[in-house]
């Protein structure tokens, strides 16, 4: 009976460590999600820059045409 009673307290301390590990995994997932969001924002910024460049090139072309006029 005594040996069985001693085995129970050993099982209890193992539970909090498992919970901590799960929490850490969740935090890592959240960090990954944040990184993905940052990447998406960067992509959007790049697209905006490209559009601005295209507009600038278009203006240059129109100015050149005007000069020819």
The pLDDT, as a whole number, for residue 11 is: 52
2 found inside a domain: no
5 found inside a domain: no
28 found inside a domain: no
The pLDDT, as a whole number, for residue 5 is: 57
Taking the C-alpha atoms of residue 58 and residue 49, their distance in angstroms, rounded to an integer, is 14
Element (H, E) at 47: helix 2-68
Written as six digits, the tokens of 11 are 């099982």
Q: Tell me: the pLDDT tens digits for 5-62?
A: 556 555 555 566 666 777 777 777 777 777 788 888 888 888 887 888 888 888 888 7
20 found inside a domain: no
User: What is the number of structural domains in the chain?
Assistant: 1
The pLDDT, as a whole number, for residue 14 is: 59
Taking the C-alpha atoms of residue 35 and residue 33, their distance in angstroms, rounded to an integer, is 5
Range of the domain at 66: 34-69
């Amino acid at each position: 009976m005594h040996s069985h009673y001693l085995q129970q307290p050993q099982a209890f301390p193992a539970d909090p460590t498992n919970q901590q590990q799960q929490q850490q995994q969740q935090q890592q997932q959240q960090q990954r999600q944040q990184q993905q969001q940052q990447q998406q924002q960067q992509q959007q910024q790049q697209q905006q820059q490209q559009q601005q460049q295209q507009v600038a090139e278009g203006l240059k072309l129109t100015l050149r045409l005007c000069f020819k006029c």
